[in-house]
Amino acid sequence: ILLEKEVDVNAQGGTFGNALQEASGEGHKEIVAMLLENGVDVNAQGGLFSNALQAASGRGHEEIVAMLLEKGADVNAQGGLFGNALQAASAEGKKEIVVMLLERGADVNAQGGLFGNALQAA
pLDDT digits (tens, 9 = 90+) for 41-82: 999 999 889 999 999 999 999 999 999 999 999 999 999 989
Residue 10 lies in a domain: no
How many domains does the structure of the chain reveal?
1
CA 106 to chain CA centroid, Å, is: 13
Q: Which domain holds residue 72?
A: 19-121
Evaluate if residue 15 carries a pLDDT over 90: no
Given this model, what pLDDT does residue 27 score? 97
**CATH number, position 107:** 1.25.40.20
Q: According to the model, what pLDDT value does residue 4 have?
A: 85
**Does residue 12 belong to any structural domain of this protein?**
no
Tell me the C-alpha distance between 43 and 40, whole Å. Answer: 9
Query: How does pLDDT run across 21-40, given as a tens digit for each residue?
Result: 999 999 999 999 999 999 99
SS3 label, residue 101: helix
Whether the full predicted model's pTM is greater than 0.85, yes or no, is yes
